[in-house]
Amino acid sequence: MIDLQGYGPRLLEGALVTIELAVLSLILAVILGLLTASAKLSRNRLIHAVGTLYTTLVRGVPDLVLMMLLFYGGQIGINMLTDQLYYAFDIDIFINVNAFVAGVITIGLIFGAYMGETFRGAFQAVEEGQMEAARAYGMSPLLAFRHVRFPLMMRHALPGIGNNWMVLLKTTALVSIIGLTDMVRVAAEATKATHEPFMFMIPVAMVYLLIATLSEWGFAKLTKRYNTGFGESSEWNN
């Protein structure tokens, strides 16, 4: 029925690249998002301004343009930097930008900004009374963050994180344009060689749908877990 004309194994490898890329960039994006959220909630005006500038710029420019800028510009920028190092300190190094690493960094950077907005809103949604109670129990700031602020924040952040993950997953398709061999690129190459777009694009689309469906189910489970103690429909009404 389905004749992948020998592209099957490569499509599978491509699917693995897509998944690895998505998961690693998600981790980077969450870390950057937490940092950005704390920057935007900081009382220090300079840090606040840096956080705001980052989220505004990144969210105002298409992902593909940022990706091209960082990917094509990244190597030149690093070369310039290493040249400077050589002239100034006589340190001779050469760094070659790996396409996969560049992809993870760009997608992580882009979604760090979106995650930052999500986390900022979630942190602000945590009631101050909860933190006062934690302090009254004599918890250290770190302990209070770990046991009170963070889990409560996650309850508000999870829907946003879920949305961002879905968008991020689809954004990974763009790395095929800048030269990374994910499953979309394999499918595009196969299409150009065999002139059978449906044969290759539809299975790839199905894989995306499958991942999306599975993660929806996973996020539903997580939401339930972080909602413990808040009742089934106390705040969400759905």
Partner 1 sequence: MEQLNGWFTELLSGNTIFTANTLSFYWGGLVTTVQLVFLCLLLGIVLAVPLAIGRGSKRRWIKLPIYAYTYVFRGTPLLIQLYLVYYGVVFFDGIQDSIFWVVFKQAFFPALIAFTLNTTAYTTEIFHGAIKNTAKGEIEAARAYGMSRKLMMRRIILPSAFRRALPAYGNEVIFMLHASAVASVVTIMDLTGAAYYVYARFYAPFDAFIFVALIYLCLTFSIMFVFRRLEKRLLAHLRPRGS
Among 177, 189, 222, 226, binds partner 1 (CB under 8 A): 177
CB of 171 to partner 1, least distance (A): 8
Residues 101 and 25: beta-carbon distance below 8 Å: no
129 is written with which tokens? 């009374």
Q: How many C-beta atoms lie closer than 10 Å to residue 16's C-beta?
A: 12
C-alpha 166/C-alpha 22 separation (Å) is 10
Q: Taking CB under 8 A as the rule, does residue 187 contact partner 1?
A: yes
Q: Taking CB under 8 A as the rule, does residue 65 contact partner 1?
A: yes
Q: Taking CB under 8 A as the rule, does residue 52 contact partner 1?
A: no
Which residues, 6+ apart, have CB-to-CB distance to 90 below 8 Å? none
Residues 183 and 11: beta-carbon distance below 8 Å: yes
CB of 157 to partner 1, least distance (A): 18
C-alpha 30/C-alpha 109 separation (Å) is 10
> Which CB, 154 or 212, lies closer to partner 1?
212
Which of the stretches 5-13, 117-125, 136-144, 186-194 binds partner 1 when contact is defined by CB under 8 A? 186-194
Count of CA atoms in the C-beta half-sphere (13 A) of 129? 1
Site string for partner 1, 106-145 (x = CB under 8 A): ----------------------------------------
> Which CB, 57 or 220, lies closer to partner 1?
57
Sign of CA dihedral 10, 13, 15, 21: negative
> Which CB, 131 or 201, lies closer to partner 1?
201
Which of the stretches 39-47, 88-96, 114-122, 172-180 binds partner 1 when contact is defined by CB under 8 A? 172-180
- Amino acid, single-letter form, for residue 176: S
Q: Taking CB under 8 A as the rule, does residue 79 contact partner 1?
A: no
Q: Taking CB under 8 A as the rule, does residue 49 contact partner 1?
A: no
Q: How many C-beta atoms lie closer than 10 Å to residue 124's C-beta?
A: 12
Q: How many C-beta atoms lie closer than 10 Å to residue 237's C-beta?
A: 5
Q: Taking CB under 8 A as the rule, does residue 219 contact partner 1?
A: no
Binding residues for partner 1, rule: CB under 8 A, are 57, 59-66, 68-69, 72-73, 76-77, 166, 170-174, 176-177, 184, 187-188, 191, 195, 197-198, 201-202, 204-205, 208-209, 212-213
